[in-house]
Copies of this chain bind each other. A is one copy, B any other.
Amino acid sequence: MEIKNQQPFGRLLALIGKNYLHALQLKLRDLDAERNFYALILIDEGKGKITQQELAELLESDKVSVVRIIDNLSDLGYVKREKVETDRRKYSLVLTAKAEKELPEIKTAITEVTELAFRGLSVTKIEELYADLHIIKNNLNNRNYE
């Protein structure tokens, strides 16, 4: 396979990532939440203790974006901000009952879209793929070229 005359590798990845998200949004179109599904999962895993700053790190995003994500999820009734008593600059992010009710459907949808994406690939190949992608992700980390 010639590498020349192909679209840049990063462009290919970004395109696939976008299509993945579209498939997920379609599967979950009956929910109020239209995006930020992974944030909900991370907040759930935070067991009521995660802060916006910590969430920003997990999402590899910045705190301004996280404010908007939480505003969005909060407006839709998925998340509540709770002042941390021991450090009153921080908020703990807590899922509402609504979010907890819908979370299984979200996780299932993610699994299904991932399975759709991987159709025709063996488990071995998928594991290799993840390993390679993590190598590539590290290679492209800012500290490697800035």
Q: A24-B8, A132-B121 are in contact. Are A15 and B116 (CB under 8 A)?
A: no
CB contact between A17 and one of B17, B45, B119, B139 (< 8 Å): that residue: B17
Closest to A116 in B: B139
B residues near A26, Cβ cutoff 8 Å: 145-146
A64 contacts the other chain (CB 8 A): no
A103 contacts the other chain (CB 8 A): no
Q: Is the CB of A19 within 8 A of B133?
A: no
Q: Is the CB of A140 within 8 A of B128?
A: no
Closest to A114 in B: B9
B residues near A116, Cβ cutoff 8 Å: 139-140, 144-145
Chain A contact residue count (CB 8 A cutoff): 56
Smallest beta-carbon distance A47→chain B, Å:
14
Residues of A that sit less than 8 Å from B by CB: 1, 3, 5-24, 26-27, 37-38, 45, 60, 110, 113-114, 116-121, 125-133, 135-137, 139-142, 144-146
Task: Supply 10 further A-B pairs (C-beta < 8 A) apart from A11-B17, A19-B141.
Answer: A1-B127, A9-B114, A10-B16, A11-B38, A13-B14, A13-B16, A15-B17, A27-B145, A116-B144, A125-B132
A sample of 15 inter-chain contacts (CB < 8 A) reads A1-B131, A3-B114, A3-B126, A8-B20, A10-B16, A11-B21, A13-B16, A13-B17, A14-B14, A20-B140, A23-B140, A116-B140, A117-B139, A118-B136, A118-B139
